[in-house]
Structure 1
């Protein structure tokens, strides 16, 4: 198996077909089809079957896919290792919506100015989704919220804390002060989809007080969440740093959650899957961290901190 064939195979899977894979790879469709057939002949098994207009992975294709991801990631790592120490190449970064909105814009602008040879790709998602993206080598690293389960990383990931967020509760203006979950007058919680650690934190807080929201309204952006709270549709939680970028908070009341609201943001990557570009990003994030130096310096020990 050569890496070019595996790259084509992965692209066909990711793009759900030959046509879009060919466009993504800047190849003609016939070339993509031929390389897939050659790979199947080399392996002695079919990798795809056609279901109408769609290509569906066979069991053999399902087996090959994670190996292809790992081999291509290892090849990228080898290329990085053999290059000069100056950061270059592609860096795929996943991030929570909150970090993308509040923390990253000036830092990534600085990073791009410092290392213009790095092709930085950014995608957003919930913490659970981002962990899976790192696990499957679909992103090189991700900014996630510290998990409720401290044993989630095992031996597979390395992580360092880079920011500390203060999670606050948002209610319509005029809502009574909130000291515990029973003080919440509205029964709807407005939040991101399951897999969001901030949502998991506040849902656990509800449960610890023996109650649960009657309804969860799932939205995909903080702008929409704030607007719905302002309209009286429910309550929500959000990092205080995100609110600094919101322009209209006139109809919002902000309630501190005390120690419950202190949640670290971690930079996480697969153990052993490191590059000079990722190292430069980690250094940029840590240089602009709001954590005390003694905490940040633990990362230099090479110990996974989760």
Structure 2
């Protein structure tokens, strides 16, 4: 099993087939096919099955892909440590959806312009899932809601967010959880830090206070549309509200101290690269 074979294997998976992988690697298709066959022969199991015109990973291929990515990333990291160079290679970034939409477009566009040799991959998810991805080395870094208390993670504070309670326009003013008249709290899935803040805010009212039902949705667009339609209430960052075009169809209410949250860029302390250092520097400079 050679590093070149693992890189070809990873590229075939990423590009969805041999033809595009060969173009990306600047190799002829027959060479890519041969190296994949050699890799399968060296480990003794098939890595792909053909489904019509596309290649699908076998269970063994799925397992090898995880190891191949870790091996190749460690090799890249080792090269950076031994012989530092300009940012290049792959950089896997995770982010909360709200941060990806409201904070990252401009910095990431600038990052691509400055360091085009970095293949930056961005994925979104709730804070708990992103933290787990960084811990497992499936993400190089992530933007998550604090506080961060894991000693294995380096955490750089970036953005001060303010969470707002969002209600339909005709809802009376809300000063405390007891003022909320709707019974449904519209949120992201479990693991979302903002959801925890919302639930804690309502829990302060005690027995009988606040929404009784939970409605889980997968995007702020859907959440705000449901609030405007009167389906319930939600807790949303002010930065997301600022992106909405008037008329909103909903009203916002302050949560006080409970609404103040800091977004951090986290990464494993022992893992770094020129690309990650460049991203840290760029995000810090954009504040």
1:284 aligns with 2:277: no
The answer to whether the Cα contact below 8 Å between 1:166 and 1:239 also exists between their aligned partners in 2 is yes
The answer to whether the Cα contact below 8 Å between 1:165 and 1:241 also exists between their aligned partners in 2 is yes
1:76 aligns with 2:76: yes
Measured in 2, the distance between the counterparts of 1:25 and 1:109 equals 25
With over 3 angstroms needed to count, the CA separation of the structure-2 counterparts of 1:279 and 1:193, relative to structure 1, is same
Aligned counterpart, 2:110? 110
Structure 1-normalised TM-score? Answer: 0.76
Deviation at 1:56, TM superposition (A): 3.4
Say which SS state the counterpart of residue 252 (structure 2) adopts. strand
Structure 2 residue aligned with 1:252, among 250, 253, 259?
A: 250
Aligned counterpart, 2:45? 46
With over 3 angstroms needed to count, the CA separation of the structure-2 counterparts of 1:154 and 1:219, relative to structure 1, is same
Say which SS state the counterpart of residue 229 (structure 1) adopts. helix
Measured in 2, the distance between the counterparts of 1:217 and 1:23 equals 44
Aligned counterpart, 1:197? 193
Question: Could you give the per-residue CA deviations for residues 131-176 of structure 1, whole angstroms, max 9, x where no partner exists?
Answer: 34334444322111125xx54x342x32211111111110011322
The answer to whether the Cα contact below 8 Å between 1:143 and 1:265 also exists between their aligned partners in 2 is yes
The answer to whether the Cα contact below 8 Å between 1:73 and 1:137 also exists between their aligned partners in 2 is no
Mark the runs of 5 or more structure 2 residues left unpaired by the alignment: none
* Aligned pairs for 1:59-208 within 5 A: 64=64, 66-81=66-81, 85-146=85-146, 150-151=148-149, 153-155=150-152, 157-208=153-204
Deviation at 1:82, TM superposition (A): 5.4
Structure 2-normalised TM-score? Answer: 0.80
What is the number of equivalent residue pairs in this alignment? 278
Give the superposed CA RMSD: 3.2
With over 3 angstroms needed to count, the CA separation of the structure-2 counterparts of 1:143 and 1:83, relative to structure 1, is same
Measured in 1, the distance between the counterparts of 2:74 and 2:134 equals 14
Deviation at 1:21, TM superposition (A): 4.2
Measured in 1, the distance between the counterparts of 2:179 and 2:95 equals 32
1:4 aligns with 2:4: yes
Deviation at 1:83, TM superposition (A): 5.6
Mark the runs of 5 or more structure 1 residues left unpaired by the alignment: 290-306
